[in-house]
Structure formats: structure tokens, C-alpha cells
């Protein structure tokens, strides 16, 4: 499907050509004066210099050169000193909205060549509770996954669990100190079926161990040794590690479920470890990696580098592998298991250098082909109102679950006095609206930017917020329910009539560009574009709603047309929030 701006560009290009000018001058874009026109073409201004002619004359000639088909679609007016203002004609707008209504994919285009994409997002670490820092990875990643799927790609979301390295050695060491009699630490080969600890205990153990290791050299050595033993396959440690993993994963799944986030793959850092030895050997043998001051490194500099890119370290001088080694081995693994066309990482932007080094290494080594896409969507920090990374009141790291609790409580208070919501629905409604508040608050910002998590703003039912979008959806649903037009769903597009008012035209124009808006969001992997789109759509809908008697309209055909318009708007909004990863309650 062609974007509307492209169609209009074709139309204007043809007119420029017919009038004797370069077709490239016909570029059309969305108007920056929506009060005057929907689209604009400034080609005559540019042509004036090239052809030494008054822009107004050129614009006049171009407008006169429009062919009959074009003239049916768009109204072109010439404005001094030589602008071409474009407005879609009502009949054309109607046909665009009909096309959306008739298409089960709501006119969202599909990619020509579907790709197989792995999205690496979430990135939680075993035995550490999810904190607010994990929110963005989960929320943005989930939406990018859905967006890539919507346009027809085959997508696998991978949580890429952090379950390797010193953190595991620390936990094992601390458990050993506390309960040396447990069979994991003795000669026993029988281990309990049930893990002898709960998730809360685990979550308390890690910070305790981490703090101790910073003060106590001996303890740190012990933890390093435990890490090493685990990696060598010590059976007791392995058994314990497996149980830590399953307790942790069960808890993580609960937490992600609450966020409406789900992964196709629960792969982890440890899964990549078996690929390391052969990968390292290969890099060494082919001279891609070399020893520098004892460490094995790959030089990843490129001639055009503007800033210094340090070498990618593959092995430390003590032979230990690192975060980058694991990420390279994970690419080897993904290539083998899934052979993806693209891997997208949704990870904090402060890890940008790490990914540059990893990507360059795998390209240099030919681990992936030149055609394989490697993309890092680096997101900014979620800050508190003080502009500093979001903290609890006492300055600690806030758990994700506490943050959600807080927003849900806030929402419950708002919803309790709402007559539209039955008492027994308060809880579930508050959960849905709270999630929308959090997710939309995050997603409506360009991912790479830092943003301020402002509870009051995000939970407001007015303005550019999740609750406002949900409120609009619920409003439309309730009108449609009242109308109870049984057969409307099937005859939707047939019921639509040409727009009569500005408000109706604006709403229809929004609907007409739905497919291309989603596609553009996909091309930029930018969920915030969907948020801007639905915010404008909601505003335009509400303007139409406030200026139009819908159920009270006496002309039955008009009334049906309004309801059909509402119905398309609803579908478009529902589809959009589904891509963003939240849904609307029945009432609010």
C-alpha cells in the first residue's frame, strides 16, 4: 500500500511534468498549517529559481495541469507567493476510510519480504528483583516485537536471562556460609526436589553477598572460585544453580505477566557458554583476535570513526570470558538455532559502546553476513521529578512491582467514585488503566531520550496519557453499545458517507493514514510514533464527538454513517493499543 503523501506526490509530480517542469518538484508533505490545508507542496517555490519564473505563475500552471483523476481526489489551491495547498476531496477521503474498514488488517501494509527477527529484550538477572530500570526494556521491547509482527515478520522475543558470572558465584557462596550442611555443599549426590529457599530469600541473599564481597577480599575470592567451579560443572553447584534458576524464572514470569509482556524464548547467558571455546579458537586461528597485554582482543576500529572505539575484549588475561564474549557467543548460537535476518536489542543506551564492539566483532569475523541486521535500540533513563534516576522515597532502587502497586492504588482511588465501574470491577479496571498509564507514559517518549516518570501526569484522564486514550475507547464502545446496531459490523463500509464538517474530515483523514502511520513507526522501530498518532486521533475523535449529535441524529443514514465511523475509529484505536501492549477495560 502506498502512503497518502506518496500518492499525492505522484499526482503533483505528474502535474509538474505536464506543465513542463521537473517531476521531482512535486514532493508533497503533511501541512504545517493544518488550519489552511491538509497537505502542501512547495515545488513551485523551488522551481522559480531554476526556471527564472514567478513562483505564482508556475503554481498556477501546475494546478491547471492536474489530470481528471487527480482533480477528483484532491483540491489544489494556489496561495501567494506560490504555495500549493492540498485538501482531499470528500469522496476520496470516504474511499480511503472505506478501504480501512474493509481490510481485516485495517490497511496496515505487510512487508514485501518478511524477515525472521530475534528481539532481545527484558534482560533480567536471576535472583535479582526486577527494578524500575527493567521497565523500559520490557515495555519498549514488547511493543517493538508486536510492531514487527503486525507488518508480517516472523518474530521471536528472547528474554536473554542473566544467569552467568560472578553474581551466581556470590549467591552460592552466601548460601554455603549460611547452610553448609545442604547437600549441594557436601559429597552427597542426592539433591532436594524442592528448592530450599523462596524468591524473597534469594532476593535478600544477593545484595548481602554482593556487599560482603566488596569489604572482604577472602569472601570475594571464594565467590570467584565458586563461579569457576560452577562453570566447570561442579554437580552440587549445578544442582543449586538450576533451582535458583527455576525459582527465579517462575517469579519473573509472574512479574512480566503483570506487565502484559511475554517471551517466546527463555534463553539465557549460560546457554551461550558452550559456544565460546570454538568461537575463541576460530577468532585466534584466523588472526581476528590477538593477545594484547595478556588479554585476547579484537581491534574493531574503522577508518571513519570520529571517536575512539576501544578493542573488544574476548578473554581477560586470566582467561575468563566477559559480557561481550557471551553476547558474541549468543549470536553464534542464534545463527545456528534460528538463522535470523535481524537481531534487535532493546537495552539501555549506556550499553551502546558494548554493542558497537560486539556488532563490529561478529561482522569482522563473518559470524553473521553483511545482510544480517544488528540493531541496538538504546533507551534513555527513567528519571524522577528531580531529574535524577527514579528512586524510592528513601533513595533506594525501586522494585518494579512496588511501582506498579503504587500506580494501581492511585488508580483505584480515582475509579472508586466512578459510577460507570461496578464495585466488583474496580480492581481489574484499575489494573488495566494503571498499566496503560505506565506503558503509555513510557512509550510516548522517543526511546533514546531520558524521561521523567510523573505519576500525576501519567495517571491523568486528560492530555497525552494512556488513561485518556482508554477513556476515548470506552466512550466509543458505550455509544456503539447504546446504538446496538446489530448488523453494522458487516456493512460497515457501505454505511459510511462523505464527511460534511471539518471535524469529520479531520477524523477521516486520521483514519485514512492509519496504515502508513503504523508502517512508518515500524520502519523507525518507534512506538512513540503510534502514541502520537492515537493521541491526534483521539483528539480529533473527541472534537467530532462534541460537535456532532450521534445517537440523536434523526437522519437514519447519517446516523448509521456516524456509527460506522465510530466503529472504524474503535478498531484502529484497539489495534494501536494492542501493538503498544495494553488493553482497555469495559467501562471507566
Cα(410)–Cα(453) distance, integer angstroms: 14
Cα(515)–Cα(244) distance, integer angstroms: 45
CB atoms within 10 A of CB 165: 19
The CB-of-242 to ligand ARG minimum distance in angstroms stands at 19
Specify the residue, 525 or 572, whose C-beta has the smaller distance to ligand ARG. 525
Specify the residue, 125 or 227, whose C-beta has the smaller distance to ligand ARG. 125
All three cell numbers of 153: 515478520
Cα(445)–Cα(381) distance, integer angstroms: 11
- SS3 helix, strand, coil % of the chain, rounded to 5? 55, 10, 30
The CB-of-202 to ligand ARG minimum distance in angstroms stands at 16
The CB-of-319 to ligand ARG minimum distance in angstroms stands at 22
74-79 vs 83-88, strand pairing mode: antiparallel
The CB-of-448 to ligand ARG minimum distance in angstroms stands at 16
Supply φ then ψ for residue 150, to 5 degrees: -55, -35
All three cell numbers of 439: 506503558
Cβ pair 580, 518 in contact under 8 A: no
Specify the residue, 86 or 279, whose C-beta has the smaller distance to ligand ARG. 279
Cα(546)–Cα(540) distance, integer angstroms: 10
Q: Residue 431 burial by CB count (10 A; 0-12/13-18/19+): exposed, middle or buried?
A: middle
CB atoms within 10 A of CB 56: 17
First-to-last C-alpha distance (Å) of the chain:
36
Q: List residues binding ligand ARG (CB under 6 A).
A: 120, 123, 125, 160, 162, 327, 345, 347
* CB neighbour list of residue 286: distance below 8 Å, 6 or more residues apart: 365
The CB-of-77 to ligand ARG minimum distance in angstroms stands at 53
| Residue nearest ligand ARG by beta-carbon distance | 123
Specify the residue, 7 or 354, whose C-beta has the smaller distance to ligand ARG. 354
Specify the residue, 125 or 150, whose C-beta has the smaller distance to ligand ARG. 125
The CB-of-41 to ligand ARG minimum distance in angstroms stands at 45
Angle, in degrees to the nearest 10, between helices 323-337 and 276-285 = 100
The CB-of-335 to ligand ARG minimum distance in angstroms stands at 14
Rg (CA), the chain: 29
Specify the residue, 120 or 142, whose C-beta has the smaller distance to ligand ARG. 120
Bond preceding residue 326 cis, omega within 30 of 0:
no
Specify the residue, 272 or 508, whose C-beta has the smaller distance to ligand ARG. 272
Give whole-number Cα distances, 454 to 154, 383, 385, 387, in Å.
Answer: 36, 9, 6, 11
All three cell numbers of 273: 557458554
Cβ pair 467, 433 in contact under 8 A: yes
For cell 470516504, the residue is 94
Cβ pair 157, 121 in contact under 8 A: yes
Specify the residue, 39 or 345, whose C-beta has the smaller distance to ligand ARG. 345
Specify the residue, 327 or 408, whose C-beta has the smaller distance to ligand ARG. 327
**Segment (H or E) for 344:** strand 342-348
Cα(45)–Cα(3) distance, integer angstroms: 24
The angle formed by the CA atoms of residues 569, 414 and 129, to the nearest 5 degrees, is: 90
Specify the residue, 146 or 334, whose C-beta has the smaller distance to ligand ARG. 334
Specify the residue, 123 or 499, whose C-beta has the smaller distance to ligand ARG. 123
Q: Residue 51 burial by CB count (10 A; 0-12/13-18/19+): exposed, middle or buried?
A: middle
- List, in sequence order, every residue forming a beta bridge with 102; answer none if it has no partner: none
The CB-of-162 to ligand ARG minimum distance in angstroms stands at 4
Specify the residue, 25 or 298, whose C-beta has the smaller distance to ligand ARG. 298
Specify the residue, 48 or 347, whose C-beta has the smaller distance to ligand ARG. 347
The CB-of-260 to ligand ARG minimum distance in angstroms stands at 20
The CB-of-399 to ligand ARG minimum distance in angstroms stands at 15
The CB-of-133 to ligand ARG minimum distance in angstroms stands at 8
- Nearest CA among 391, 386, 371, 451 for reference residue 139: 451
Amino acid at each position: 500500500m502506498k502512503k497518502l503523501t506518496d500518492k499525492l506526490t505522484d499526482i503533483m509530480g505528474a502535474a509538474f511534468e505536464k506543465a513542463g517542469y521537473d517531476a521531482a518538484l512535486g514532493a508533497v508533505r503533511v501541512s504545517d498549517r493544518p488550519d489552511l490545508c491538509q497537505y502542501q507542496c512547495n515545488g513551485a517555490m523551488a522551481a522559480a529559481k531554476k526556471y527564472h519564473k514567478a513562483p505564482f505563475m508556475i503554481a498556477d500552471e501546475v494546478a491547471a495541469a492536474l489530470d481528471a483523476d487527480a482533480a477528483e481526489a484532491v483540491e489544489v489551491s494556489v496561495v501567494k507567493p506560490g504555495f500549493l495547498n492540498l485538501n482531499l476531496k470528500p469522496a476520496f477521503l470516504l474511499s480511503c476510510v472505506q478501504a480501512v474498514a474493509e481490510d481485516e488488517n485495517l490497511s496496515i501494509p505487510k512487508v514485501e519480504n518478511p524477515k525472521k527477527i530475534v528481539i532481545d529484550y527484558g534482560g533480567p538477572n536471576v535472583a535479582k528483583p526486577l527494578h524500575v530500570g527493567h521497565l523500559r526494556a520490557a515495555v519498549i521491547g514488547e511493543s517493538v516485537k508486536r510492531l514487527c509482527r503486525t507488518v508480517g515478520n516472523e518474530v521471536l522475543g528472547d528474554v536473554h536471562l542473566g544467569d552467568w558470572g560472578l553474581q551466581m558465584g556470590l549467591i552460592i557462596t552466601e548460601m554455603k556460609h549460611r547452610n553448609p550442611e545442604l547437600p549441594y555443599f557436601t559429597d552427597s549426590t542426592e539433591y532436594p526436589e524442592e528448592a530450599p529457599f523462596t524468591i524473597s530469600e534469594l532476593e535478600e541473599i544477593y545484595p548481602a553477598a554482593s556487599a560482603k564481597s566488596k569489604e572482604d577480599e577472602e569472601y570475594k575470592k571464594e565467590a570467584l572460585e565458586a563461579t569457576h567451579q560452577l562453570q566447570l560443572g561442579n554437580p552440587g553447584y549445578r544442582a543449586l544453580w538450576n533451582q535458583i534458576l527455576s525459582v527465579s524464572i517462575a517469579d519473573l514470569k509472574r512479574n512480566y505477566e503483570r506487565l502484559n509482556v511475554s517471551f517466546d524464548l527463555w534463553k539465557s547467558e549460560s546457554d551461550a557458554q558452550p559456544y565460546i571455546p570454538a568461537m575463541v579458537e576460530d577468532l585466534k586461528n584466523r588472526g581476528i583476535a590477538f593477545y594484547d597485554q595478556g588479554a585476547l582482543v579484537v581491534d574493531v576500529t574503522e577508518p571513519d570513526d570520529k571517536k575512539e572505539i576501544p578493542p573488544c575484549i574476548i578473554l581477560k588475561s586470566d582467561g575468563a570470558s566477559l559480557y561481550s564474549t557471551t553476547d558474541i557467543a549468543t549470536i553464534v548460537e542464534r545463527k545456528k538455532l534460528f538463522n535470523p535476518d535481524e537481531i534487535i536489542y532493546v537495552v539501555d543506551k549506556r550499553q551502546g559502546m558494548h554493542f558497537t564492539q560486539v556488532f563490529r566483532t561478529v561482522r569482522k569475523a563473518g559470524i553473521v553476513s553483511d545482510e544480517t541486521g544488528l540493531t541496538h535500540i538504546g533507551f534513555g533513563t527513567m528519571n524522577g521529578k528531580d531529574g535524577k534516576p527514579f528512586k524510592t522515597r528513601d533513595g533506594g532502587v525501586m522494585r518494579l512491582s512496588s511501582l506498579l502497586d503504587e500506580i494501581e492504588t492511585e488508580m483505584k482511588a480515582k475509579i472508586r467514585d466512578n459510577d460507570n465501574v461496578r464495585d466488583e470491577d474496580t480492581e481489574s479496571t484499575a489494573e488495566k488503566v494503571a498499566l496503560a498509564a505506565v506503558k503509555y507514559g513510557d512509550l510516548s517518549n522517543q526511546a533514546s531520550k531520558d524521561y521523567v516518570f510523573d505519576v500525576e501526569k501519567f495517571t491523568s484522564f486528560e492530555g497525552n496519557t494512556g488513561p485518556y486514550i482508554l477513556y476515548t475507547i470506552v466512550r466509543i464502545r458505550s455509544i456503539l453499545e447504546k446504538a446496538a446496531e446489530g448488523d453494522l459490523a458487516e456493512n460497515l463500509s457501505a454505511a459510511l458517507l462523505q464527511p460534511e464538517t471539518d471535524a469529520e474530515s479531520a477524523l477521516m483523514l486520521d483514519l485514512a493514514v492509519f496504515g502508513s502511520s503504523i508502517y512508518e513507526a515500524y520502519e523507525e522501530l518507534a512506538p512513540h510514533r503510534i502514541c502520537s498518532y492515537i493521541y491526534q486521533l483521539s483528539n480529533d475523535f473527541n472534537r467530532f464527538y462534541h460537535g456532532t449529535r450521534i445517537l440523536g441524529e434523526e437522519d437514519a443514514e447519517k446516523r448509521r454513517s456516524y456509527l460506522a465511523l465510530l466503529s472504524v475509529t474503535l478498531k484502529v484505536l484497539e489495534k494501536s493499543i494492542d501493538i503498544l501492549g495494553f488493553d482497555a477495560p469495559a467501562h471507566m
